Structure 1
């Protein structure tokens, strides 16, 4: 005789499922409200995030100086100035060699365009000069017709550049204050929060700081690995401007997806202009292989060890962040996922019952956590 379903147990299960669904729905609504509020405050939040990331990169030197008796303000100012000098040096390391070979680069680009036109004129395309001229005239006419759109795009681009400069300046000022007053922040925060929050929030903030530091270190290591491998490949091909290209590859590693595409395109263009099509294709193959290994093997492995996240979680986080918020989402996806992991692990620690302490009926009923 088949067993009959218990109506009492069924109703209890449905009630439990309904309560759980309602709790999950409330959490999702609160998360959506928090994200909306974050979007409204993004002009302030973004410089804050950049300042924190820069601080994690420069804090070891500031901590060293403070440990050797330097006043906090002097140590922070020194590190900030050194950071600006290093940033200017990186720009000069890229710009000066390129400017020195600008004439040869221009001639190479012109010759490359001429070679492409000759190749297009032959089989299998057989595109004549008259067809190219017609296409160019059509492009010019279309550009003239859409002059308003072009002006709008230019204004938007100028606004984006201005916003980027304002963000950079604010981030530098915030970095200075974080370096100067950072160690006093958690004690101050503990004094402002009531009850249990005075302990929980500072602990989570300290662990989050360690996680951000691990993210920046792992990203710098991945960028260095990328720059060395691609730089050696370009050097073996005899491509000029190897050092600026390697530096550009390292710097662009901090901007996911777009940074790698930009650095790779520049390297392939230089190889095409100076070495020809064959070396350009070889350079493209080297860059694609290195970037695929870096993005799918080295970066997830390195970051999973430093951040305590599985490599698959990192890949999924970058994909989701890019689909939701583009470049910024890709940049912040991994540290955000790591910070969520920090909060989740801390909650598990606080809500779990020690092995030697059996769970009481009162704890099971109201979910109270002992202070």
Structure 2
């Protein structure tokens, strides 16, 4: 005999479901509003983000000078000048040649896709033309629109903004001030916030900064090693467009998983079109070997700690970022997801029950705050 449903419990369950639904709806609305505001202020947000990313790269030498007794202003000035010199050298030696060859790179990828389509239509696969034409045509269209800009967007750093020069200057000035006044920011922020916010916000900001800096510096080092080794392999096989492909490999390293697959796919297509199937297979073997070397040797040595993100989360974040903001969104997706993970982990620490007190009492607000 089956038991009848309790009307009281059913109403209580519906009330709880309704309350949770309303709360989730409010969270989604607030998220949409924040994203809309960021979009409206993007001309200011983008230089700020770019300045923060540059600061993560230039902070180690600045910290070295500060520990040697330098004052903050001279140390930040010297590092900023050295950064400008290095950036000018990169633009003169790498960015300009890469930009001049980006069109050839795009044309080579398109030709490679057509060659793959012709090969798939013949034996032994005999794939019908209508089965692959639509997907390949969409891929060709996307590559023709964006493949050339994938390298130049990040090499110049400002192509997504109408006035790129102003963005670059703002980012450099912000980098200088972050380097000079960065150590004083958290104490200042602590004094400005009331109550528990004075503890929690600086703690989350400090953890987010450590995570962001670790990600940017480690990905830059790993990407540089990948670009050098793969570039040498492409040069030995005599594949054209070695410099743009090496730069593409370096830039793609900042988009974990997806970036490596994309850069390797482009290199194999270029080798297939220019050198034939044998050299394309050799290039594929080189890329697989370098990726294995990176995953088993480079990253464990360079990365002291991971981002704490599952591969599926990274893939979803990159996909969402690319849909929302194109190439820039793909590049920023993983750092943003890592910062959200830091916030979520800190929130879980604050809401966790104190040891030895299962289910009892309110969590202590300062229990997990680092000293």
Superposition TM-score, scaled by structure 2 size: 0.70
Structure 1: give runs of 5+ residues left out of the alignment: 110-123, 125-157
Partner of 1:13: 13
46-55 or 215-224, larger mean C-alpha shift: 215-224
Q: Which has the higher helix share?
A: 1
Over 3 Å counting, the alpha-carbon distance change for 1:240 and 1:14 in structure 2 is closer
Conserved? CA contact 1:254–1:331, under 8 Å: yes
Number of the residue aligned with 1:218: 218
Aligned to 2:140: none
In structure 2, distance between residues paired with 1:162 and 1:35: 20
Partner of 2:183: 183
Confirm or deny: 8 A CA contact 2:264 2:284 kept in the other structure.
no
Task: Return the alpha-carbon distance in structure 2 between the equivalents of residues 6 and 41 of structure 1.
Answer: 52
Greater shift in the superposed pair: 289-298 or 46-55: 289-298
**Residue 222 (structure 1) shift:** 3.1
Q: Which residue of 1 aligns with 2:135?
A: none
Residue of structure 2 equivalent to 1:64: 64
Cα separation, partners in 2 of 1:27 and 1:183, compared to 1, 3 Å: same
* Cα distance, 1:288 vs structure 2: 6.9
| Deviation string, structure 1 residues 158-209 (Cα, Å, up to 9, x no partner) | 9967522221111111000000000101111111111111111100100110
Residue segments in structure 2 that go unaligned for 5+ positions in a row: 108-121, 123-157
Within 5 A, what are the aligned runs for 1:96-111? Answer: none
Q: What are the superposed Cα offsets for residues 54-82 of structure 1, whole Å, 9 maximum, x if unpaired?
A: 10111011000001011101110111111
Q: What is aligned with 2:172?
A: 172
Tell me the distance in 1 between the aligned counterparts of 2:16 and 2:270: 62
Give the aligned partner of residue 121 of structure 1.
Answer: none
Q: Hey, what's the Cα distance between the residues in 1 that align with 2:364 and 2:26?
A: 20
Instruction: Deviation per CA, 1:303-342: give whole Å up to 9, x if none.
Output: 8952111122112211121122211210111011111111
| Aligned-residue offset at 1:349 | 0.9
CA distance in 2, matches of 1:39, 1:294: 39
Q: 1:303 to 1:32 in 2, by over 3 A?
A: farther
Aligned to 1:332: 332
The more displaced of 278-287 and 191-200 is 278-287
Whole-Å Cα distance in 1 between the matches of residues 336 and 234 of structure 2? 35
Q: Give runs of aligned pairs for residues 217-296 of structure 1, distance below 5 A.
A: 217-239=217-239, 246=246, 249-251=249-251, 253-254=253-254, 281=280, 285=284
Alignment partners' CA distance in 2, 1:2 and 1:262: 61
Correspondence for 1:346: 346
Q: How many residues align?
A: 312
- Contact persistence 1:75–1:180 (CA under 8 A): yes
SS in 1 for 2:306: helix
Q: Contact (CA 8 Å) 2:222, 2:298: kept in 1 or not?
A: yes
- 1:72-98 deviation digits (Å, cap 9, x = unpaired): 011101111111111222233337989
* SS of match in other structure, 1:306: coil
- Give the alignment's TM-score, normalised by structure 1: 0.70
Question: 1:202 matched to which residue of 2?
Answer: 202
3-state SS, counterpart of residue 332 of structure 2: helix
Q: 1 CA distance for matches of 2:326 and 2:297?
A: 22
Larger Rg belongs to: 1
Corresponding residue number in structure 2 for 1:3: 3
CA contact (8 A) 1:94 1:248 kept: no
The 1:315/1:159 distance shift into structure 2, 3 A limit, reads closer
CA contact (8 A) 1:226 1:249 kept: yes
Q: Distance in 2 between matches of 1:82 and 1:263?
A: 33
**Number of the residue aligned with 2:94:** 94
